[in-house]
Amino acid sequence: MIDLTEYGDALRRDPHPVYARLRERGPVHRVRLATPGGAWETWLVVGYEEARAALADQRLAKDIARTGFVPLDEQLIGKYLLVADPPQHTRLRGLVARAFTMRRVERLRPRIRQITDELLDDMLPRGHADLVDSLAYPLPITVICELLGVPEMDRAEFRKTSTEVVAPTGTDSERAATVRLAEYLTELIEDKRCAGPTGDLLSDLIRTTAEDGDRLSMDELRGMAYLLLIAGHETTVNLIGNAVLALLTHPDQLAALRADPSLLDKAVEETLRWEGPVETATYRFAAEPLEIAGTRIGRGDDVLVGLTAAQRDGARFTDPDRFDIRRDTRGHLAFGHGIHYCLGAPLARLEAGVALGALLDRAPGLTLDGEPGEWLPGMLMRGVRSLPVRW
């Protein structure tokens, strides 16, 4: 047993040295974690090959309700893709994919650029700003709320609520935030059902029908809206923030990107590998006894796949701690792997690329303006609360 709680805030600020020491000892470890509800023991996978295999291993199930325990969000929100296994997962993803298409995402490009330019128009005359508050947060929250049809007046409260859900500061506050979000989404869906087709994604999901007449139930619609709203913006906030922070702390890479803007997509991909927005994949549990790299995992045991840890594995990526925007990052695990590969990956890449390109183009003297804010608590999201910059 390795007690990660002994590292305190050091693990939150910079988990990479800890993960490196774990990888030296082996790819899988029994660990004790600090959570808002107290210490928790689990299996943690830190090796790249083992993580990739675990993400695609359907013996590691996501529907923990099969064990008799129903998590808080599922109790209050309903079933959604991240907590479903085949055949239910196959059915849900198929219905969502009918409405959330690549063509729909690509059609958003002009609007994403317009929102980005408007945010920069407001930010740049000031000469300095918190990049998270001024760009990294408002861009993806505006995009996902417009995509789903969330009224503008509700977005400020939604930010506060969703952040508490994914990076909770306490068990009671997490529950209260989840209750508020469940109530809000129920009202939003009912309003859209009564209003008739409006062209937004949530309205389309309400009316999406498979060939056999299958449709999403109310609980499934609420669960899907919950997943798209939270996963659709929290991760992209961190991706944009982490990309800017990485470039500003690696001036040689920033100079290379400025000299050759065609490296923009590669800079986004290297950020996803080097400091991706999700530290560990959501919990899996062993539906049957199995082995990972010779380590016996008992039936019912839960498993965390360490995405941040796996992507610094030197057995997969040469000189893995070096941030290199010319690197071949193919095979990185920032969006997962297997049937749970992130449905919103194309949208996240599009938003990050547009935001980063416009920012560097319009703020040629961009630099840090003090220390970044604290890193988010917990081991789910990887990002800073604030990022002071000037130009």
**Residue 376: what pLDDT?**
92
Structure tokens at 200: 């937004």
Q: Round to whole Å and give the CA distance between 210 and 95.
A: 7
Q: Do 189 and 218 form a contact (C-beta atoms < 8 A)?
A: yes
Q: How much of the chain is in helix, strand and coil states, percent to nearest 5?
A: 55, 10, 30
Cα distances from 240 to residues 115, 384, 387, in angstroms, run: 15, 11, 11
pLDDT by 10-residue block (mean), the chain, 391 residues:
91 95 97 83 97 97 80 80 92 89 92 98 97 96 89 78 76 81 89 86 86 84 87 90 98 98 98 97 94 96 97 98 98 96 94 98 96 92 97 96
Question: Beta partners for 35?
Answer: 38
Q: Round to whole Å and give the CA distance between 389 and 131.
A: 6
First to last CA, the chain: 48
Domain map (residue ranges) of the chain: 2-390
Fold of 2-390: Cytochrome p450 (1.10.630)
Q: Round to whole Å and give the CA distance between 284 and 55.
A: 9
**Residue 45: what pLDDT?**
98
- Largest separation between any pair of C-alpha atoms in the chain: 60
Q: Do 84 and 217 form a contact (C-beta atoms < 8 A)?
A: no
